[in-house]
A and B are shown apart, each in its own frame.
Chain A
Amino acid sequence: KNQVEQSPQSLIILEGKNCTLQCNYTVSPFSNLRWYKQDTGRGPVSLTIMTFSENTKSNGRYTATLDADTKQSSLHITASQLSDSASYICVVSRTSGTYKYIFGTGTRLKVLA
């Protein structure tokens, strides 16, 4: 069954601290993996895209990793800011079959001053 599981479900950290969000998937055939940021009351916005051959990709203070062998990805946020408070959704895409985009349930991050 094609599934994407994210952990933790929610996370509270202090401003300036680092954190890591996890995404495990059982999706095939694998095309790519994206991390989306969804601010409260807004639509998701893509942060990074990882293809099969990529291990690490950075976007400012966001760094995503992908281990295609273990089917795990992580999103590391460095020096967190209040504006990082949002839900982070892992989306794995398939190259064929129905439901090309498999969504995780998201990690809700709260950054406190």
Chain B
Amino acid sequence: EAGVAQSPRYKIIEKRQSVAFWCNPISGHATLYWYQQILGQGPKLLIQFQNNGVVDDSQLPKDRFSAERLKGVDSTLKIQPAKLEDSAVYLCASSPRGSADTGELFFGEGSRLTVL
């Protein structure tokens, strides 16, 4: 079974530039999450989708971050314009369960963003 795929693995940009991350969850997984993990900290939830609908985006800085899940499968996370404090690893995770359940999260390898 293929795992959660993310790209790019690494990205270096200057502040005020834009960047987009892509995630392909495990086939059939209904729920998809984007997390931000700053060095030395645990992951912080940015947004949660169930199928193609947003379940929770309360911690997403909507003035600069946006995310969508096309046709309930792939998802993209965009940052525009980037700030220095956005330097982090962006983890995508999926779960076969619905958003009300607490099944195992399957994580991708992450996309490491460095903002100069």
Contacts and interface: CB of A to CB of B under 8 A. Distances in A.
B21 interface: no
Interface residues of B, number: 20
A46 to B, nearest CB: 5
A89 interface: yes
A32 B41 CA distance: 21
Contact of B102 (A4, A31, A44, A46): A31
Given A89-B42, A98-B56, A45 B107 contact: yes
A94 B104 contact: no
Contacts of A95: 102
Contact of A94 (B42, B93, B102, B107): B102
B32 to A, nearest CB: 13
Interface of A: 4, 31-32, 34, 41-46, 49, 89, 91, 93-95, 98-101, 103-106
B41 A46 contact: no
Looking at A93, A94, A103, A106, which has the most chain B CB atoms within 10 Å of its CB?
A: A103
Interface string B86-116: 0000010100000100101101111010000
Secondary structure call for the A interface: strand
A99 B45 contact: yes
17 contacts: A4-B42, A42-B109, A43-B4, A43-B107, A43-B110, A44-B43, A44-B107, A45-B107, A46-B104, A46-B105, A94-B102, A100-B102, A103-B44, A104-B42, A105-B40, A105-B42, A106-B42
Contacts of B42: 4, 89, 103-106
Interface of B: 4, 40-45, 56, 58, 91, 93, 99, 102, 104-105, 107-110, 112
A101 B48 CA distance: 11
The 10 closest A-B CB pairs, nearest first, are A43-B107, A93-B102, A103-B42, A31-B102, A105-B42, A46-B104, A44-B107, A43-B108, A43-B109, A103-B43
Given A46-B105, A99-B45, 12 more contacts: A4-B42, A34-B104, A41-B109, A42-B110, A43-B91, A43-B109, A44-B107, A49-B104, A94-B102, A101-B45, A101-B102, A105-B42
